[in-house]
Amino acid sequence: MHTEENISAGEFSDIMSEFWSWRLREVPEFASSVGVNDHDDRLETFTLEAFRKRKVRCTYYRLTHI
């Protein structure tokens, strides 16, 4: 777990970049709405499995990066 005292600006930037890229891939409509058209060939998946995977990933980010 990171705290304000032990994470560098570069590490923070890397974490945010990784999360942002993941978010854009997971929600292509959101990506399009913010001007990123790399995922225009897909739609968000609304299956229970997709929601479970997103929850696991968000928990991972929360527990390991915040």
CA dist 13 and 11 (Å) reads: 5
3-state helix, strand, coil in the chain (%, to 5): 65, 0, 35
Residue 28, helix vs strand vs coil: helix
DSSP secondary structure code for residue 47 in this structure: S
Chunked mean pLDDT (size 10), the chain, 66 residues: 69 91 95 96 96 94 79
Confidence (pLDDT) at 7 = 81
Confidence (pLDDT) at 4 = 54
